Chain A
Amino acid sequence: MSMVEVQPGVPNTPGGAAMTMPPPVQRRTLPAWAWFMIGVVAVVGVLSMTSYLTGQPALTSSSTMQNTVTLGLPILLCGLGGIWSERSGMINIGLEGMMILGTWGAAFGGLHGGPWMSVLVGAVMGALGGLLHAVATVTFGVNHIVSGVAINLLGAGITKYLSTLIFEPLSSNPRDSPPVEQFDTYSVPGLSDWLGDLEAQQRVVISDVAGIVRGLVTRVSPVLLLSILLVVATYVVLWRTRFGLRLRSCGENPVASESLGVNVYLYKYIAVVASGALAGIGGAALVLGSSPSIYSEGQTANRGFIGLAAMIFGNWRPVGTLAGSTLFGYSDGLRLSSGPETVHALLYSAVIVAGLIVVWQLFRRRWTGAGLAAAGAILVYVLYFFTDELPTEFLPYTPHIITLVVLALAAQRLRPPAADGMPYRRGEGD
């Protein structure tokens, strides 16, 4: 922008420009990780306030956090898969099918080798699903969503067939595999017990933070470490390497990339196969995280779609996707480790959040926004006051409702890759 204002004749060197005219004051935006940390602190603050005011320690207990991790990881991995594929311009609704293939592969690998074999075979099966999607969409130019729907059908069919063929003789049940070996888990020595003591003291904020941190450092599975590594790797590879830049350029403007000599088909193939492999690892995480750790039919329960929603929630970026899948995992995990009263306490959290929005909107002098948020806060508080518990049937669907709200409020701020889902044929660009 500032380039436009430079007068002709003024030497256009950085030093010269700085001396003659000060650069326009830019609004400094914080980097993504800083926003993430602020978000974490805010969420922990709201939850510990709620936990204190309503007397529901389960909201921040370490067991809730452990469930969050176990249930959130498959979603996170699927979401990462979604990032890889969609950043290259390929919509991947077939993540669910690839994840199903991954669950079968994980059980099969686990029976023939250790847990690492589970992850590997799960990834390979998912990658095969991704390859099929790539053949249909990249080579033959089929509509991405249509191909994805077909792959979901096919993934379910193939695993049912293979499980009847291979697992039934072993487990005498066509729908389940025999249990496979799980990873050994590690707790951080000393820290975990110390945090456990803190958590048991039930002190405001300190115990809440202790519970959350303890959930993250106790009985840590290598899958968690692998997933964190994959989040970082996705960011570094896609945003900090030449390869990643080219891959993302295929999702923004494939014709332009083609004109610069990028082999768009190849990049799309790599992206979609990687996406399938990540979804497959997600399936493996699901198998290894369930107890007993078995493949069972219908186990994925649309988590592939949720992974996609987490990706959109995170604006097609890794850290945002991490936040999204934590949200989905938390609401799922809370249901497992506590009862309807705890869920009911979440309404209180909603009131606090709405209250914070009111303050923020007043600060920004947006009166209608503040009014709407205040009305919402009062409404939810009335609901909280006159009920004692929420039906547990709805808890697993809280994230879906939140996603709808986020989409409705922020759809214009979300920025998908520009050529996401567009057909691309080599040499036919205009």
Chain B
Amino acid sequence: MIAKLRSSLLAPVLAIVVSALLCALILLFSGANPIDALGAMISQVGEGQVAVDIVNSTAIYMIASIAAAIGFQMNLLNIGIEGQYRIGALVAAIVGSAIVLPAPLHWIVILIVAMIAGALWALLPAILKVTRGVHEVLSTIMMNAIAFGLAAFLIRRDQFGILIGNNVSTEPIPESGLVPGISLGDRGTVFGLVFLAVLAAALYGTTMNRTRFGFELRASGLSPTAASAGGVNAKRMIVIALLSSGAIAGLIGMPEILGRDHAYTLNFTAGYGFAALGIALLGRNHPVGIAFGSLLWAFLEKAKAALDNVGVPREIATIMQGLIVLSVVIAYEVVKRFDQAAEQRRVGRALGTITATEPAPEAAK
């Protein structure tokens, strides 16, 4: 148990330390003091609404990375989260403003619409993957671009868009469709849908680890041949995995729309989809790991404004995010190989085929 925990925690910790060191080096080279920078970022958390902002974006990042993790479990790289959540948010905002229902029912309908729209946007890549063998990375990249075009078209003022102030947006969703948040006065308001993220993480964790479906999904991801020999329909699993990933992705925009913006606006936040891939890798597709990864991401994202005060370009936070992802995947590979070698030596010693000093044979896997 301890050995397992060590090998799963070693890599992310190693990665974060390495990337922090690299960032410190970059800061030193550009003539800033890394300690001051870190101090400024940490003290920023106590300022104004930053703490609440961090909680809110942690929730959003969690939903997004769960969508990514579902794909990863099945060895699918769903780059299309970006497009799926945009379409999900836009369709949900349009439908939500067009209907009137009693309060909890209204927003539940909106959430379901968002999930369906997100899943439908993933449907074409799924079909192309299983029927024509088109790699999902390519088709989802194309679908992302088309989603941008479709969104820009649907929000035109002769379609569903209206002008509010200087900003074009969809019709605002009526009061009954909004999810009440937890107001903390000057500190800001925690989105009510923060709990949706927790629920999604819990549901994801149980499904993956406690159900037959989750087992089949992970088995197909680990070894498609072994899984199909065990009677798992690989094509069906691909379609289900991509559609559920898309459905969860459809929810990404919901905390912001139902908790703050009340409509899909032109300056709808972009970029959660790509961050999600990084966080899911960092958290190793584990719900708890994802939660911590999202927290780290949200902290870097929201506290970076403070860097301007100490004369450091805030973009160092983005570099740090990229470095973390790159070093975490490298660290996983290194730790994995190290573990494999250790295992080989252990087996070798137990069988008495090698002595403790002899290196493990490379080919004996």
- Residues 397-419 of chain A, each 1 if its beta carbon lies under 8 Å from chain B, else 0: 10011011001100110000000
Q: What residues of chain A lie closer than 8 Å to B363, measured between beta carbons?
A: 427-428, 430
**CA of A129 to CA of B26, assembled, Å:** 16
A149 contacts B313, C-beta separation under 8 Å: no
A308 contacts B138, C-beta separation under 8 Å: yes
A161 contacts B318, C-beta separation under 8 Å: yes
Known: A403-B142, A427-B362. A150 touches B149 (CB 8 A): no
**CA of A142 to CA of B333, assembled, Å:** 6
B69 → A minimal CB distance (Å):
13
A393 contacts B153, C-beta separation under 8 Å: yes
B322 contacts A400, C-beta separation under 8 Å: no
A305 contacts B141, C-beta separation under 8 Å: yes
B156 → A minimal CB distance (Å):
7
Partner pick for A146 among B128, B133, B323, B329, CB 8 A cutoff: B329
Q: Any chain A CB within 8 A of the CB of B254?
A: no
**CA of A430 to CA of B362, assembled, Å:** 12
Q: Any chain B CB within 8 A of the CB of A143?
A: yes
- The B-contacting residues of A in range 264-322, CB under 8 angstroms, are 302, 305, 308-309, 312
Interface residues of A (CB under 8 A from B): 93, 132, 136, 140-143, 145-147, 149-158, 160-161, 164-165, 174, 302, 305, 308-309, 312, 391, 393-394, 396-397, 400-401, 403-404, 407-408, 411-412, 427-428, 430
B132 contacts A156, C-beta separation under 8 Å: no
Sample 10 A-B pairs with CB under 8 A, ordered by A number. A93-B137, A153-B275, A157-B316, A157-B319, A165-B313, A397-B148, A401-B146, A427-B362, A428-B362, A428-B365
Q: What residues of chain A lie closer than 8 Å to B365, measured between beta carbons?
A: 428
B142 contacts A404, C-beta separation under 8 Å: yes
Interface of A is mostly: helix
**CA of A397 to CA of B132, assembled, Å:** 22
Q: What residues of chain A lie closer than 8 Å to B124, measured between beta carbons?
A: 404
Partner pick for B278 among A150, A161, A165, CB 8 A cutoff: A150
Known: A154-B323, A396-B149, A400-B142. A145 touches B315 (CB 8 A): no
**CA of A274 to CA of B179, assembled, Å:** 52
Q: Any chain A CB within 8 A of the CB of B139?
A: yes
Known: A153-B321, A158-B319, A165-B313. A407 touches B138 (CB 8 A): yes
Report the nearest A residue to B149, measured CB to CB: A397
A411 contacts B333, C-beta separation under 8 Å: no
Q: Any chain A CB within 8 A of the CB of B199?
A: no
Interface size on B, residues (CB 8 A): 50
Q: Any chain A CB within 8 A of the CB of B310?
A: no
Interface residues of B (CB under 8 A from A): 26, 30, 77, 79, 124, 128, 132-134, 137-139, 141-146, 148-150, 152-153, 156, 274-275, 277-278, 281, 313-323, 325-326, 329-330, 333-334, 337, 362-363, 365
Q: What residues of chain B lie closer than 8 Å to A428, measured between beta carbons?
A: 362-363, 365
A146 contacts B281, C-beta separation under 8 Å: yes
**CA of A147 to CA of B315, assembled, Å:** 20
Partner pick for A140 among B143, B315, B334, CB 8 A cutoff: B334
A173 → B minimal CB distance (Å):
13
**CA of A160 to CA of B319, assembled, Å:** 9
B318 contacts A147, C-beta separation under 8 Å: no
A160 contacts B329, C-beta separation under 8 Å: no
Q: What residues of chain B lie closer than 8 Å to A161, measured between beta carbons?
A: 26, 313, 315-316, 318-319
**CA of A140 to CA of B365, assembled, Å:** 18
A408 contacts B132, C-beta separation under 8 Å: yes
Q: What residues of chain B lie closer than 8 Å to A154, measured between beta carbons?
A: 319, 322-323, 325-326
A136 contacts B132, C-beta separation under 8 Å: no
